[in-house]
């Protein structure tokens, strides 16, 4: 069995991965959303499910909220509920893609009334952050155009910067704005924030409290994501990760399920660039569970990140540097592959047991009776899903 060094175990013990509240609601494709028994009906039940993931893994101590999906009358009560369950409330995600007014844009809209409405929504999100103790406001914009000539692309960039400036000015001293990018969808001719460069240009003009969010599913096929990770860490502007997995586009599948080697390569650059357990770089899942059960889907996801982090920490940096400086291409690649192919699962299971955690959190959850219990308890009401 592979032994994990004390330094590696110390780094793994400090690792935390934020869970998205919406992962516990019903989701699907544009053709069908499949409901499941026990799906949360409100943010309080979403947080209870997230807390179960953390109880079994000790990897997920915070929960991201989506506004207005997670609006409640009393965010102080929601915060206390989370703390009582051993978790905290984390990133606040805005939503300007489901309101009729935002059909042709929100923060980029040429109609000042609509743009004002979108800006005010983000100011309300910061009010939520004040109540929850959250640090980060994450902004993803479903804005762009479908046809050449439909919009003035430069004018939209100018309006976006003005909108972001107004939002940025409202942030507290310890709060941040994190701008996410996505290369297409729902707009297909152009997207207002399609890549890391555009996000970087926009946040760099705002100031030190504005950062870039990298979603691992938001890139064109063939994109070298680990290069972007390296560059943003090098520039000091990587604010957060949204981990998921994809085969074709923004599939939002369980992280590491399609290409575990890519996840390893990304985490190798995270470690190399000082991003692991860096308080300025937030790790978060952003994925949906359309056909699998949601709580174990999140458990599997955080364990996948933990496993690939352990492998990245095993990388022999001295041997890699020596091979690189000798221009020994095959030796350098062999060092990478040796770390990737190392089976760390038995060592991680033993380490979990030494910390009072289940060696196999997936098995422990299956045997806990949690799913049958919530299916019996959560009867009536409206199950949470897209838009709630």
Give per-residue pLDDT as tens, 133-150. 999 999 999 999 999 999
Residue pair 250/217 in contact (Cβ under 8 Å)? The answer is: yes
Domain housing 306: 15-317+354-377
pLDDT of residue 305: 98
**CATH number of residue 282's parent domain:** 3.20.20.150
pLDDT of 388 > 80? The answer is no
pLDDT of 193-224, one tens digit each? 999 999 999 999 999 999 999 999 999 999 99
Contacts of range 1-9, beta carbons closer than 8 Å, 24 or more positions apart = 1/346, 1/347, 1/350, 2/314, 2/342, 2/343, 2/344, 2/346, 2/347, 3/347, 4/310, 4/313, 4/314, 4/344, 4/347, 4/348, 4/351, 7/313, 8/310, 8/313, 8/314, 9/351
- Residue 340 forms part of a structural domain: no
pLDDT of 8 > 90? The answer is yes
Contacts of 76 (CB under 8 A, 6+ apart): 131
- Residue 371 forms part of a structural domain: yes
What percentage of residues in the chain have a pLDDT greater than 70?
99
pLDDT of residue 34: 87
pLDDT of 259-299, one tens digit each? 999 999 999 999 999 999 999 999 999 999 999 999 999 99
**Number of domains composing the chain:** 1
pLDDT of residue 134: 98
Mean pLDDT of 89-110: 97
- Residue 329 forms part of a structural domain: no
Name the least confident of 27-41, 60-74, 214-228, 336-350.
Answer: 27-41
pLDDT of residue 24: 97
- Residue 136 forms part of a structural domain: yes
| Average pLDDT over the chain, rounded to an integer | 96
- Residue 263 forms part of a structural domain: yes
- Residue 297 forms part of a structural domain: yes
pLDDT of residue 205: 98
- Residue 4 forms part of a structural domain: no
- Residue 188 forms part of a structural domain: yes
């Amino acid at each position: 069995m592979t032994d994990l060094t004390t330094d590696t175990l110390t780094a793994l013990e400090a690792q935390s991965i934020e869970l998205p509240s919406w992962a516990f609601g019903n989701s699907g494709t544009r053709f069908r959303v499949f409901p499941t028994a026990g799906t949360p009906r409100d943010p309080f039940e979403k947080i209870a499910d997230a807390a179960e993931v953390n109880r079994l893994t000790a990897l997920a101590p915070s929960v991201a909220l989506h506004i207005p999906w997670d609006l409640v009358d009393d965010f102080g009560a929601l915060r206390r509920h989370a703390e009582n369950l051993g978790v905290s409330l984390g990133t606040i995600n805005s939503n300007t893609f489901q309101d009729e007014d935002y059909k042709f844009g929100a923060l980029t809209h040429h109609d000042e009334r609509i743009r004002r409405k979108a800006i005010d929504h983000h100011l309300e999100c910061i009010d939520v952050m004040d109540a929850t103790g959250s640090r980060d406001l994450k902004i993803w914009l479903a804005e762009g155009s479908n046809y050449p000539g439909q919009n003035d692309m430069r004018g939209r960039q100018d309006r976006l910067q003005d909108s972001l400036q107004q939002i940025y000015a409202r942030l507290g001293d310890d709060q941040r704005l994190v701008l996410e990018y996505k290369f297409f969808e729902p707009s297909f001719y152009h997207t207002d924030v399609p890549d890391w460069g555009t996000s970087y240009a926009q946040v760099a003009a705002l100031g030190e409290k504005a950062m870039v969010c990298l979603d691992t599913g938001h890139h064109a096929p063939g994109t070298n994501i680990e290069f972007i990770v390296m560059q943003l860490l090098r520039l000091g502007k990587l604010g957060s990760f949204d981990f998921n997995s994809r085969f074709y586009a923004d599939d939002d599948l369980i992280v590491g399920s399609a290409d575990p080697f890519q996840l390893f390569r990304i985490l190798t650059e995270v470690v190399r660039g000082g991003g692991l357990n860096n308080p300025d770089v937030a790790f978060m899942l952003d994925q949906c569970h359309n056909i699998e059960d949601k709580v174990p889907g999140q458990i599997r996801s955080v364990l996948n990140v933990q496993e690939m982090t352990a492998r990245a920490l095993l990388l022999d940096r001295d041997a890699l540097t020596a091979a690189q400086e000798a221009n020994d291409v095959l030796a350098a690649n062999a060092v990478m592959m040796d770390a990737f192919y190392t089976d760390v699962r038995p060592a991680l299971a033993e380490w979990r047991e030494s910390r009072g955690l289940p060696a196999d959190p997936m098995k422990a959850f299956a045997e806990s009776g949690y799913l049958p219990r919530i299916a019996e308890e959560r009867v009536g009401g409206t199950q949470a899903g897209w838009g709630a």
